[in-house]
Amino acid sequence: MLARQYVTVTAEVAAIDKRIHAWHRSCRESRRLEEIPGIGPIVATALVAEIGDWKQFRSGRNLAAWIGLVPKQHSTGGKERLGRITKQGNRYLRWLLVAGAMAVIRYARQHGTKRLWLTRIMARRPTKVAAVALANKIARMAWAIMARGERFAQPRLLPTAA
């Protein structure tokens, strides 16, 4: 009985996966988002479906805060203090973006990366903390690309000082 249920559920998941990929191929916005490292078809379709109008957010930070990827702020007297990442926001999008960031970090550990920012944060922080910071950056890049109607371009690397 359990084997039949497993086969049925596996077939349903495969059918849903095919529908998601078909929708992804037909959606221009979703394909633009997929160009960002750490965003695949599942994450891209989820972002397009959940957000809809990207211009409803004033900035990439507002989008990242809505998802729940920025530290809680405690400000008084002009002095800002950043707290922990809260678990408020869109749990599903946060989970997808952090999983994508973990994949980018895993690839960077195995093959190296030319991005100085990522190398530094991976050296300074635990892997999961670095993944949340990278997920925050990915969400901000996604907002910038979608709100401005641009395509993703690899960031130019600054020459290292000799």
Query: For every one of its 162 residues, what pLDDT tens digit does the chain have, with 9 covering 90 and above?
Result: 999 999 999 999 999 999 999 999 999 999 999 999 999 999 999 999 999 888 898 988 888 888 988 876 666 777 766 666 766 778 899 999 999 999 999 999 998 887 888 889 999 999 999 999 999 999 999 999 998 888 887 766 555 544
**What's the pLDDT score for residue 114?**
78
Q: pLDDT at position 160, please?
A: 53
Distances (CA, A) of 56 to 59, 62, 65: 9, 9, 13
The predicted pLDDT at position 72 comes to 67
Q: Give the pLDDT of residue 22.
A: 95
Query: Are 67 and 89 a contacting pair, CB within 8 Å?
Result: yes
Query: What gap in Å lies between CA 79 and CA 3, rounded to an integer?
Result: 59
- Cα separation, 12 vs 90, in Å, equals 25
Beta bridge partners, 76, equal 79
Residue 103 CB: number of other CB atoms within 10 A?
15
Give the largest CA-CA distance in the chain: 67
In this structure, the strands spanning 79-85 and 71-76 are antiparallel
- Using a 10 angstrom Cβ sphere, with 0-12 exposed, 13-18 middle and 19 or more buried, the burial of residue 7 is exposed
